[in-house]
Structure 1
Amino acid sequence: MTMRQSATELLIATPGQGLHEITREVVRWTAEQAMTTGLLTVFCRHTSASLTIQENAAPEVRGDIVRWLARLAPENDGYAHDDEGPDDMPAHLKSILTGVSLTVPLIDGLLALGTWQGIYLCEHRLAPHRRRVALHLLGE
């Protein structure tokens, strides 16, 4: 087989702060590429949003994570950078903590996610946003 690659960009509308599952969209696009083995890179093109792979069965996990991040990077904590409001700098800090890229192996045509794993876009700003997530699949 010949190695090939595919890339696209998802536009995700977030309702505001929280972990928003994008697994379905990512899995759908990956399946459309008809590759059996490879490596998927998922990349968030923002500095105040990020990505994570996390529990997708118990919704309480997402709420606990949002509250934990708020304790680590609280609003109104004397930040010099507050150009877009009190959630601006905390959003950047939360993005550093969670990261902007993920890699997921593709095995036998399926993303090798665990039973309870989902891919999440972490919106760290309070207001709704339209976020761009790039997908790149290298495989055969």
Structure 2
Amino acid sequence: MKSTVVEVETGGTEAVHDITPLCEEFLRTAGGGDGLLNVFVPHATAGIALIELGAGSDDDLLAALRDLLPADDRWRHAHGSRGHGRSHVMPALIAPYATVPVVDGALALGTWQSIAFVDLNVDNPDRKVRLSFLADSA
């Protein structure tokens, strides 16, 4: 298995950040072939989504998360910015990992799918993502 950690800067606002190019670059250096790419966020306040990006879906996702997890004072986990506790609940809805098939060294995503880093935590703009490629041994 080949593995690396990449840096993602999400800024000081809620973000849906396309990390597909980072995943593709990693696969180019991982030796190609068939296998599985695991994308993992080692943070308690972020997630990975497979979603269409650039056609408004990213804004729709953030709007849906705002509706489901309002940034108000209801959260018991209450340090940091107002509503910070919702960031700790979000990974129960958007998992901190995804596994994507790799065929001939390329991501086997659907036509409109991208790999997105989802971050509601405005207190931590510098993030990490672990990419791990498990090659088919056959």
> Please, what is the CA RMSD of the aligned residues?
1.3
- Are 2:9 and 1:9 aligned? no
Give percent identity, aligned residues only.
29
**In the alignment, which of 41, 44, 69 is matched to residue 41 of structure 2?**
44
Work out whether 1:29 is the aligned partner of 2:19: no
Deviation at 1:57, TM superposition (A): 4.3
Runs (5+) with no aligned partner, structure 2: none
Task: Check the 8 A contact 2:42/2:96 in 1, yes or no.
Answer: yes
Q: How big is each residue's C-alpha offset from its partner over 1:27-55, in whole Å with a ceiling of 9 and x where there is no partner?
A: 11112112211111000010111111100
2:106 maps to 1:110 = yes
1:37-91 CA-to-partner distances (Å, cap 9, x unmatched) read: 1111000010111111100341x11111101111101122422211112231111
Q: Runs (4+) of structure 1 moved beyond 4 Å?
A: none
Q: Which letter maps to 1:56?
A: L
Q: How does 1:1-140 map to 2 (within 5 A)?
A: 5-15=1-11, 16-58=13-55, 60-127=56-123, 129-140=125-136
Structure 1 window deviating more from structure 2 (90-99 vs 20-29): it is: 90-99
Q: Between Structure 1 and Structure 2, which shows a larger proportion of strand residues?
A: 1
Matching residue's letter, 2:30: Q
- Greater displacement, 94-103 / 127-136: 127-136
Contact persistence 2:80–2:123 (CA under 8 A): no
